[in-house]
A and B are shown apart, each in its own frame.
Chain A
Amino acid sequence: MKFPLAWHRLWAIVLKEFVQMRRDRITFAMMVGIPVMQLILFGFAINTDPKRLPTVVFDASQSAYSRSFVASLENSGYYDVLTPPDSVADARQAMAIGEVQFIVSIPPDFSRQLVRGEKPVILLEADASDPSATGNAISALNNLNQSALQHDLKGPLAPLGSAPPPFEIRVQRNYNPEGITQYNIVPGLMGTILTMTMIMMTGMAMTRELERGTLENLLAFPVHPLEVMIGKILPYIMVGYIQVTVILVAAYFLFDVPIAGSLILLLACVLVFLAANLTVGMMFSTIAKSQLQAMQMTFFFFLPSMLLSGFMFPFRGMPHWAQVIGEGLPLTHFLRIVRGIMLKGNGWAETWPNVWPLLVFMTVVMLIGFKRYRKTLD
């Protein structure tokens, strides 16, 4: 049998592809530029071993021993001891919002019990909603009770310094006592899935009109740009809610993720998040010249959303500049909202700090998109 491939035909097609690639500069730039950008961005930003986590210490003992313990906490590198708020309740509120990762309580008679060899207990409450964020910090505690007071326990107290450890650190994992990863991942997945699908679908919506030539007709109709934009967004909000329902049902029945807070509040926040993502999609579609480009832009937005939002890697593990970028992404705030409501049982007061950034984001993006919408073919 004759070999069916001929070099000249194969070569003709290869050449043609290269010519077309060269014509579509934006696509080519994205193919080359984006990997480089992302390599640098994510290579430096991602760190699975977050350190200097915000910690609040209530030291009722105020003794040399307790101060030594706090100092050793800080020296471990994992704990960043902040000025404590007025009360433990305030600290718990801060933990619910996500501003504080650990609350350490040292009992008033810590030093007395210690000296008597009664093995006092220090309580460390951790925000364990993301087990990977707290895991290393908690394991760093392992030997801390043994080593922290090594220098303080001298002379007659020296025997206390040797095994067994002179005091106990009791870790209480709030929100996710068993450290189940699904509790953190499944609510987070809701955000990533919505980001991906919403931006992509709306991103294609307008470019499809451009690509298929229907835009010229649409522009010739007496229809206001806002009517077009909102009209294209609304159906996808419905699609988004279908996705949310499926994910929530699966989270609850399949993965046993608790829904500690108000479902209504959650669904209301979903609306804001959906709208924020849909405006991004609309903005992309006013810039992109083809559906392919809209798709590329979606991925351009999606990757940092996934990697810098705290979905895959602990947010606090990232350097400051990456956290700033992360704060600008809607997914970051949505993750905090969803995890807050589902795991921590947060109410409106704890949720609002992450809702308004979404609203600001949406407004800005909508303005850009509206400015860029083509009223004419000029």
Chain B
Amino acid sequence: MNGEYAIDVHGLSKSFGHKRVVNGLSLRVEKGEIYGFLGPNGSGKTTSIRMLCGLLTPDEGSGTCLGFDVRTQSAEIKKQVGYMTQRFSFYEDLSIRENLDFVARLYAMPNRRQTVQAGMEELGLADRANQLAGTLSGGWKQRLALAACMLHRPRLLLLDEPTAGVDPKARRDFWDEIHRLAGQGISVLVSTHYMDEAARCHRLAYIAYGNLLASGMPEELVARSGLVSFVVKDDSPALADRLRQLPGVQQVVAMGNLYSVSGRDGALIEDGLASLSDLQFERAETGLEQVFIQLMENVQDAAP
């Protein structure tokens, strides 16, 4: 079964001091799949990814990454995994070409020059080949990082919040690139805070406080949450509190000149909204954001 999954781990745990950062994480990522890794800040996403690529040794748990044991074969894993760190961690005092050259040499790539050139062209970096990495803007840095972790043709990409602080156009380009790679059979595990990005994943996992709360395909997660949402076309500031006090309403989000209201019991909410005079509202699709906020709130309620 090692042949079927790019990542197959169960019960991974890691503590720093007394703090348990990851608690019994189990994940299965199929080959060629884009697996979204979501969760609030400090939920253990980075630690999990670091355990998968051998940068951290798990305290408990076991499993395989590309068929190699995450505990004992981290050297093998490193050779076939491309890891993109959350913080830009290439050399700012080296140019794009020099950075990629360095990486290509580390992986002993044959035809290094061509590989580097091709890697740069693939991501549109060729025009800036001699620009120092430190002078690049966020979007370009992230492209360089992607080019670098793709250079050795890894079978699995581990991307830790690759698009944090990157403009929407660059993000979209980045995701097009990821889908293209997945189309070539490369598996991708990507952590993100952006819901539009989550929606572009084949499968999602949501973790909070080190625990895996939910996983599945995006539409599955939405359906499973049982949330029903409405859009209220009104932007008077006083309305928010009144909406929150309606029976059955769990979330009220002000969005520009309308409100999004959601809760489990659709009929109850609909009655409540109707009881407010002169209110224009209609049913809307529930987004992943509402689903995850609900998950978060449930955890907080459950926590002692």
Residues of A within 8 A of B (CB): 212-217, 219-223, 376-378
B78 and A222: CB pair below 8 A? yes
The residue from B56, B78, B87 contacting A378, defined by CB atoms under 8 A apart = B56
Tell me the nearest residue of chain B to A214, going by C-beta.
Answer: B89
- Report the Cα distance A219→B85, complex, angstroms: 11
- Chain B, range 24-55, C-beta contacts under 8 Å to A: 50, 53-55
Q: A214-B90, A220-B53 are in contact. List 11 more A-B contacts (CB 8 A).
A: A212-B92, A214-B91, A216-B87, A216-B89, A217-B90, A220-B78, A221-B78, A221-B103, A221-B106, A221-B107, A377-B55
A376 with B90: in contact, given A220-B83, A221-B103, A222-B79 (CB under 8 Å)?
no
Determine the residue in chain A with the shortest Cβ distance to B103.
Answer: A221
CB<8 Å pairs between A and B, sample of 14: A214-B90, A214-B91, A216-B85, A217-B90, A220-B55, A220-B81, A220-B83, A220-B85, A221-B78, A223-B106, A377-B50, A377-B55, A378-B56, A378-B57
Q: By the criterion CB–CB under 8 Å, are A222 and B107 in contact?
A: yes
A261 to B199, CA, bound (A): 76
CB-defined contacts of B106 to chain A, threshold 8 Å: 221-223
The smallest C-beta distance from A179 to any residue of chain B, in angstroms, reads 49
Residue pair B55, A213 in contact (C-beta under 8 Å)? no
Interface membership of B175, Cβ < 8 A: no
Chain A: CB-nearest residue to B75: A222
Q: Are A376 and B78 in contact (CB under 8 A)?
A: no
Interface size on B, residues (CB 8 A): 22
Q: Can you name the residue of chain B whose Cβ is closest to the Cβ of A217? A: B89
Cα A222 to Cα B106 with chains together (Å)? 7
With a cutoff of 8 Å between Cβ atoms, the chain B residues found around residue A213 in the complex are 85, 87-89
Shortest Cβ gap from B98 to chain A (Å): 13
CA distance A214 to B145 in the complex (A): 12
Which residue of A212, A215, A222, A223 has the most chain B CB atoms within 10 A of its CB atom?
A222
A151 to B58, CA, bound (A): 85
**Residue from B57, B85, B89, B103 whose CB has the most chain A CB atoms within 10 Å:** B89
B107 touches A219 (CB 8 A): no
Residue of A whose beta carbon sits closest to that of B16: A378
Q: Are A219 and B55 in contact (CB under 8 A)?
A: yes
**Contact string against A for B residues 130-168, beta-carbon threshold 8 Å, 1 for contact and 0 otherwise:** 000000000000000000000000000000000000000
What is the minimal beta-carbon distance from A56 to any residue of chain B, in angstroms? 58
Indicate with 1 or 0, residue by residue over B3-14, a CB within 8 angstroms of chain A CB atoms.
Answer: 000000000000
Contacts of B81 in A (CB 8 A): 220
In the complex formed, the residue of A with least CB distance to B76 is A222
How far does the alpha carbon of A378 sit from the alpha carbon of B75 in the complex, in Å?
A: 16
Q: What CA separation (Å) do A217 and B84 show in the bound complex?
A: 8
Which B residue sits closest to A219, measured CB to CB? B55
What is the distance, in angstroms, from B132's C-beta to the closest C-beta of chain A? 14
Docked CA distance A213–B83 (Å): 14
Looking at A213, A217, A376, the one whose CB has the most chain B CB atoms below 10 A away is A217
Q: Are A216 and B55 in contact (CB under 8 A)?
A: yes
Shortest beta-carbon distance, B151 to chain A, in Å? Answer: 11
Question: How many whole Å from A210's CB to the nearest CB in chain B?
Answer: 11
Question: In whole angstroms, what is the CA distance A216 to B47 when docked?
Answer: 12
Q: How far is A217 from B56 in the complex, measured between Cα atoms in Å?
A: 13
- Nearest Cβ in chain A — how far from B186, in angstroms? 17
- The distance in angstroms between the C-alpha atoms of A219 and B81, with both chains bound, is 13
A376 to B88, CA, bound (A): 18
Q: A220-B78, A222-B107 are in contact. Are A376 and B89 (CB under 8 A)?
A: no
Report how far A77 CA is from B67 CA in the complex, Å: 77
Q: Residues of B contacting A214 with CB < 8 Å?
A: 89-91
CB pair B56 A376 closer than 8 Å: yes
- Which residues of B lie under 8 Å from residue A219 when comparing CB positions? 55
A376's partner among B55, B83, B92 (CB-CB below 8 A) is: B55
A217 proximity list for chain B (CB < 8 A): 83, 85, 89-90
Closest to B92 in A: A212
Q: Give every chain B residue within 8 A of A215 (Cβ-Cβ).
A: 89
Residues of chain B lying within 8 A (CB to CB) of residue A377:
50, 55-56
- Chain A residue contacts of B74, Cβ below 8 A: 376
A378 to B71, CA, bound (A): 13
CA distance A233 to B91 in the complex (A): 18
In the complex, what residues of B have CB within 8 A of residue A212's CB? 89, 91-92
Identify which of residues 58-106 in chain B touch chain A, using a CB-to-CB cut-off of 8 Å.
74-75, 78-79, 81, 83, 85, 87-92, 103, 106
